[in-house]
Amino acid sequence: MEPYSCDTFVALPPATVGNRVIFGKNSDRLFDEVQEVIYCPAAVHNDLGKRLKCTYIEIDQVPETYAVVLSRPAWLWGAEMGANEHGVCIGNEAVWGRENVSKEEALLGMDLVRLGLERADTAEKALDVIVDLLEKYGQGGNCAEGEEFSYYNSFLIADRNEAWILETSGKYWAAEKVQVAAHTFDPSTQEAEASKPLSAKPAGSTE
C-alpha cells in the first residue's frame, strides 16, 4: 500500500513564537493533477442579479468579496486551502460517513473553501457562510479530473484569534471550537489529535 495523507493543522498562541498563527495542509490528490496558486483581488459586485458560477452550479452573488490567495486544482473553481486579506485560513479534507455520497452536481467542498474565504472576515463567520451555503445548495459532484471520485468534506478554519473544526455529511454538519494551542486533524481515521478534548457543539449549530 502506497503512503498517503491529507491532513490540516493549526498552531495558535501560546504554542507559537511571537504569538503567530501557523496553518498548513498536506494534500493527497492525484500526482499528475495540476495545482496552481492564484490571487483573486477584493471586489464589489453591483449587479447581484448576475449569478456566480462555481465548479458545477451557479449561486447567488454577494455585494462584496475579500481578496484571497488560493491553492487549487487547476480544473475547478474552488480551492483546497487558502487565506484571505483578514487572515482567515481554511483547508478541507475528504470524509465519509453513514450518508451515501451524492454524485449529483452541487457545491464541492473546495468551492465552499473559496466561498468561506471570499465572504468572511473571521473564522466563525466563515463557518457560518459554509453551513448556510451547504444547507441552501448542498454538496456533491465529482471531485477529481479524469476519474470518478466523490466525497463529503471536513474543514479546519482559523483566524488570528481562534480555530474551528467543521465536519459535514450531505447537508448535516457539526462544529467544534479548538480549545488547545496546537491541533491536527486527520478525517481519514476520524481522530482528532490534541492535548485535551475539544469543546463539543450541537450538530447543526455553533451555539
For residue 133, give the amino acid letter. L
Pairing of strands 58-59, 7-11: unpaired
Please say if 54 is a catalytic residue.
Answer: no
Distance CA 26, CA 148 (A): 22
Which member of 6, 54, 89, 143 is catalytic? 6
Q: Could you list the beta-strand ranges (E) of the chain.
A: 7-11, 22-26, 35-40, 43-44, 52-53, 58-59, 64-65, 68-73, 81-84, 89-95, 152-158, 163-169, 172-177, 182-186, 191-193
- Residues with a catalytic annotation lie at 6
